[in-house]
Chains A and B, each alone.
Chain A
Amino acid sequence: MAKRSYTKTPMREQAPEIRNQNFEEVALGYTLAEGRLEASRCLQCKNAPCITNCPVMIDIPGFIKAVEENNMPMAYEILSRYTNLPAICGRVCPQEKQCEMVCRLGRSKKFEPVAIGKLERLVADWSLEQPVEYNEVSGEKGRVAVIGSGPSGLTAAGDLAKLGYDVTVYEALHAPGGVLTYGIPEFRLPKRIVKQEIERIIAQGVKIETNVVVGKTLTMDEIMTDFDACYLSVGAGAPKFQGIKGTALNGVYSSSEYLTRVNLMHGYQFPKYDTPVQESKNVVVIGGGNVAMDAARSAKRLGAEKVSIVYRRSLEELPARQEEYHHSVEEGIDYHWLSNPIEYIDDGTGRLAAVKCVQMELGEPDESGRRRPVTIPDSEFIIEADTAIEAIGQGANKVLLDTFPELALNKWGYIDADEETCATSIPGIFAGGDIVTGAATVILAMGAGKIAATEMDQYIQKIKQGEPVK
């Protein structure tokens, strides 16, 4: 074998000055040869730490060995034992904080970790080119409802179908996928990939019904009557606004609205698609997470001349993925570190003219362990802007919860569910993903979906055998 390369096998990308004008995927994927080269860097550890640091515990050395041996069907077979959404996870997981963070190769001097995510993506993309096999589900084991078709719901649904359950997923929007469809932009996660991956889950025997708002179109009573158990995976989709002066001006958006218009409604293809997105010259995005990066990079692609991100802490505390931050800088996004908006200024006609900000400095650490930003007196400054997008986080959507007061919530308004079992205060009702944890990552939501599927299976079988269930 050739000497192990110190660095990851690079993945080809669209050039920054070209990609910031289109919505095509930035990272172009490995060829089989590149994949085999990268796979050969894996040390094939016994008791591999990467496995235990993966929320769905994929047999990482196993699938990588199959790639190295050019056995793609085997690699895919191994992956699909653990994950229902590999093409998505390979692209959007923060591997640097999970599997790749503990990679033994990466721990040794001078070496970068194995590019686990990129290899997962290679195998998954290969599988999407293969014909789909449709499974018949007898449903003899029982009937399960999954509320919400985001990553958590889809994972639970896929696993339950594999176990032989008759699974129906209810989705409020007109397209399934949750944040994968309305939130994460095309240039990070092509919707073609999301559709194909969901098609694979439907092929397992899962039924997906769109345009159903549980709590409104169907009640929880009806769900509990018609199904043996139910998994609530409705996410944390209600946008928060800072509520500063001028929030109602035209040109001020929540990131959820901006991204929904762009992604779900294809606003970037207006007027071929009917939903418009405002044309902007100067855009200010508020926040430092992946959602802020997505909104800023989308605005640039929609033709904005200048896009700035205003973040109240510094680069060190930025919660967004490193890779996304670097991509954003390459694409010409500016940063105002240690800054916070305090007012949106009217142009005199009810439209946004500028964002007034203040400088911050970092004080003592808060409960999250991050240093708390404190306003510096007399440090106001103005950024000219016709569009401002607030990406400061989301909370629990109350539509379902308000119609279901029996369900216990925690002090933040999320569902109070056991992290080990996903069980809620009501027998037969399980919950997981962002509606339990608050906005987190795709892979954590999937991890909860896996746990829920196992626990729901045990619950239903106990009930069917007449055993008492807590």
Chain B
Amino acid sequence: MFKVLERRELAPTEYEILVDAPRIASKAKPGQFVILRIDEYGERIPLTIVDRDKHAGWIRLIFQVIGKSTAQLATVTTGEYLKDVVGPLGKATEIENYGTVLLVGGGVGIAALFPIVKGLKEAGNRVITILGAKNQNLLILQEECAQYSDELILMTDDGSIGKQGLVTDAMEEVFQREKISTVWAIGPSIMMKFCTLTAQKYKVPIYVSLNPIMIDGTGMCGGCRVTVADSIKFACVDGPEFLGEEVNWDEFVNRMQQYRPEELLANKRYEEQVISNG
């Protein structure tokens, strides 16, 4: 059992929890994730480790309510417990001093981007960060990213904060004005795909963090398999970071839809239960 030490609403439908998990906190590196299960009927869902405190022994997780399990997770409050949390899983980001790096985060993907921003800044890079969301309310972790960025560019669909437009517009501007050694992009798959195309246009290597369907998260089922450079990789153990230009995006997007009917059914059933229980 893993105690939730703190729970906060960050934005409409986006939540942050601090979970007491000393072993994971002592090992976690930027780019890694955990798999959690809320209760004995629960499914195993992957979430990126956003931050951790080695001494206090907690890890920080951020999630968006997108279906049954995340809706239920949003109801777990301070002082309550999660049944299972396992990690840190996946390969860590290769943090080193690259020079000037560009980091692009979209929506709840900003949560997964933040530890990489922080890690690269601490490794001595000049860090330019672009954050994008639908509107100001959904633009999470601005202050935290600002703290570890030399330059922070905000983009919203409606222009409610920063500039109106897409993160790829901001990428173009940065590429045109200066030399970038490496890019990271984390967000919805369609965003990562277009970030990849933009970086390729300027011949800059770009890493993306893939979030396919996972079950065990330890390499024993292949549910999270993705085709990278024409070979089968398991995102949970070989990734989750891969070079964007090597990812077969159409296939990746298609596989994400695999359980759409079941996901909708589970969510509908949960909402009905919540309503009938008041």
Contact = CB atoms under 8 A, between A and B. Distances in A.
Given A217-B88, A397-B220, A241 B42 contact: no
A213 B37 contact: no
Interface residues of B, number: 42
Interface string B59-88: 000000000110000000000000111111
A275 interface: yes
A272 B258 contact: no
Interface in A182-215: 210-213
Given A217-B23, A243-B232, A256 B87 contact: no
Given A248-B251, A250-B258, A261-B215, A272 B222 contact: no
A238 B37 CA distance: 22
Q: Pick the most buried of A216, A265, A350: most chain B CB atoms within 10 A of its CB.
A: A216
B126 interface: no
B219 A257 contact: no
Contacts of A212: 23, 86
B223 A213 contact: no
A174 interface: yes
A70 B225 CA distance: 54
B86 A174 contact: yes
A84 B184 CA distance: 51
B8 interface: no
A274 B216 CA distance: 14
A387 B220 CA distance: 20
Contact of A213 (B68, B86, B232, B259): B86
Interface in B227-257: 227, 232, 237, 248, 251, 254-255, 257
Interface string A261-290: 100011000111111101000000000000
Contacts of A174: 37, 44, 83-84, 86
A239 B84 contact: no
Given A174-B84, A210-B84, A257-B215, A250 B41 contact: no
Interface stretch (B98-106, B138-146, B261-269): B261-269
Nearest to A266: B41
| Central interface residue in B225, B227, B248, by most chain A CB within 10 Å | B225
A233 interface: no
A274 B42 contact: yes
Most chain A CB within a 10 A radius of its CB, from B68, B87, B262: B262
Given A212-B23, A271-B269, A273-B41, A399 B218 contact: yes
Contacts of B68: 274
Nearest to A217: B23
Given A174-B37, A217-B88, A248-B251, A238 B265 contact: no
A256 B69 contact: no
Interface string A297-325: 00000000000000000000000000000
B53 interface: no
B221 interface: yes
A219 to B, nearest CB: 8
A216 B27 contact: yes
Determine the main DSSP class of A at the interface with B: loop
Interface residues of A, number: 40
A234 to B, nearest CB: 10
A344 B71 CA distance: 36
A421 interface: no
Contact of A397 (B37, B219, B258): B219
A107 interface: no
Given A243-B232, A350-B254, A397-B218, A276 B84 contact: no
Nearest to B37: A174
A218 interface: yes
Contacts of A350: 251, 254-255, 257
A345 to B, nearest CB: 15
Residue with the greatest number of chain A CB neighbours at <10 A, chosen from B221, B259, B266? B221
A398 interface: yes
A397 B236 CA distance: 12
Nearest to B83: A174
Contact of B232 (A216, A241, A394): A241
Contacts of A270: 262, 266
A308 B254 CA distance: 26
Contacts of B69: 274
B192 interface: no
A23 B248 CA distance: 38
Complex A-B, nearest 3 residue pairs according to Cβ-Cβ distance, in ascending order: A276-B262, A274-B43, A350-B254
9 contacts: A172-B216, A174-B37, A213-B218, A217-B24, A241-B232, A248-B227, A278-B262, A350-B255, A399-B218
Given A271-B265, A350-B255, 15 more contacts: A172-B86, A173-B218, A174-B83, A217-B23, A217-B87, A238-B220, A239-B221, A248-B232, A250-B257, A254-B221, A256-B221, A260-B216, A265-B43, A275-B215, A350-B254
Interface of B: 23-24, 27, 37, 41-44, 68-69, 83-89, 215-216, 218-223, 225-227, 232, 237, 248, 251, 254-255, 257-259, 262-263, 265-266, 269
